[in-house]
Structure 1
Amino acid sequence: MESWFALNVMARRRPGALFEPWRRNVRVRDSLRLLGGLAQGVHPLDVFTLAGAGAHVEEGLDRFLGVGADSVRAELDTWGQFGDLPSWSKLLPDDAETRRHFAAALRETHTALLGPYGDPLRAHLEAEVTARAGVMVRGGAERLLSTLHPDLVWRDMTLDVTTRFTSLTLDVHLNGRGLVLIPSVFCRLPLFSYDSFRPDDAPVLFYPALRDPAHAFALWGQRAAGAPQRAGALGALLGATRAAVLEEVGRGCTTTHLARKLSISAATASHHVAILRDSGLVISRRQGGSVLHLPTPLGLALLNGTLSGPN
């Protein structure tokens, strides 16, 4: 679904300041253009409802290929209310070849739009989950739901999901099923995913998890694929442990993640981060009960070997 949201952002004429650097760094392929008609608009086709939860994109695509025709047809009818769908999409419910082409295009979308930023995206979302868990522990579910997004309002034991672009009103009664919250970097507005064919499943609410321009700048300033690593030189300059800390911070991480990843104590991790921060290589921002560490432009230049001297 993150790939699907990313395609929705890519299709916009003005993606906004948070996403413009990302769009300049990725390439649009023909398969992305094929899917564009289904991913555009405030409410893109809900591929998550059709595929269900999966450990990775391949599992999700396999599930999508096996979804019954009635489910696909119902989903197309639902989301078709928000705009004209491409004519070829009418073949998705019953035509196996069309569905395989769709799955292949979505796989290419995932690789092209998310692949270069896989590790930073995961680190950002892990930090978001940790932060929201802390909010819930300290303030309960009501506090958590009231702080997710301005369009989500918790009032009188009811979660109101409003949107500034449509007059849609959605009443979802949980009836003891619970609610699954999924943060998304590319989701621009809260979006419910609810499958009428699986009425016992808990509804899913996607919500935007990229709100801070500083986080966006650090996130898009790093690319997981092809970024030159200078581990040996960094180790000689900073010391082996501190160089490893900067490498991990380059992907975005919390103090807890950093300590676990490098098998050091949280106090030691905080000490090294503090020195890097005082040196202008790292910024740290609190998210709930966690602190997310990100590289500064200088830190990124040092990691990528792109520092240049005076002209």
Structure 2
Amino acid sequence: MKVKAVLASLSCALLLLAAPRSTNARAQDASAGGAASPQTSQTPAARQQGGASGDAPRDGDATRKAARGSTGTIKGRVVGDAGEPLAGITVYATPRASGPGSRAQRTAIADDEGNFTIGGLEPGLYTLGTFLPGYVPETDPQTGRPDVTVRPGETATIHLVRGGVITGAVTDAQGEPLVAVSVRAYRVHDLDGRASSGPYAFTNEDRTDDRGVYRIYGLQPGVYVVFAGGSSNSFGPFASPFASDAPTFYPSSTRDTAAEVTVRSGQDTSGVDIRYRDEQGHSVTGRVETPQQQ
């Protein structure tokens, strides 16, 4: 009997230890040892939905997760002048809200048939672009022919045409070749007469070689003025010795009397020779103010 009594006492003690503690007991612990962390009981399903913290998912969180996971693709093809596929070209998809070089930009390489697929795109409008030396896109934002723009789920065809070429020589007043002169071609308007909206900074450029010869390729079809000398940033820190001169326009004039040069797709326009005027350039200074500063 004594043994049974002892066993009964031990069982009662174990039951008391295993039983849930009352609210009063937890409150006493909290007052004795500082604020106690609330104990929350969760079912496995609740833990899976609410996470480790036990909080139920919020609608905003679910919406953001769905938006991040909702991506699409743009498919298309790159073709040349005659509709032939252009393989191995990198195609860029840039969100219209950003710009070239954006981290949101996605790329793909066209296969042997010129086909490409760009994936991982969030909803929105994208501009498609590509680059192939010697070729130019049919689109031309500077004269009002807009870029190719598509949304995920749509398809597009990118047309590239062979660019034109301007070549010639630059000589001094005695007819001797001038070496390392920057020569630039600025398009005045396209072949349909639509004026270019780009400033003179948007020019194609080359430098004369040891014979005084230059060759500017990859030109959009159109009508150009060509000039030598003047400042240029296209060749990095190696400034041309003619950078401080006033530009000499083809054939040997200022901008007002410059002759215009017509460039067509895939054709060389040769003999655009410039007799350099060797005139010192001048500076213009000023101040730009906002309406509030005036």
Structure number having the greater strand percentage: 2
Name the TM-score, length of structure 1 as normaliser: 0.23
Query: Rg: which structure is higher?
Result: 2
Structure number having the greater helix percentage: 1
Name the TM-score, length of structure 2 as normaliser: 0.24
- Of structures 1 and 2, the one scoring higher in RCO (CA 8 A, sep 6+) is 1
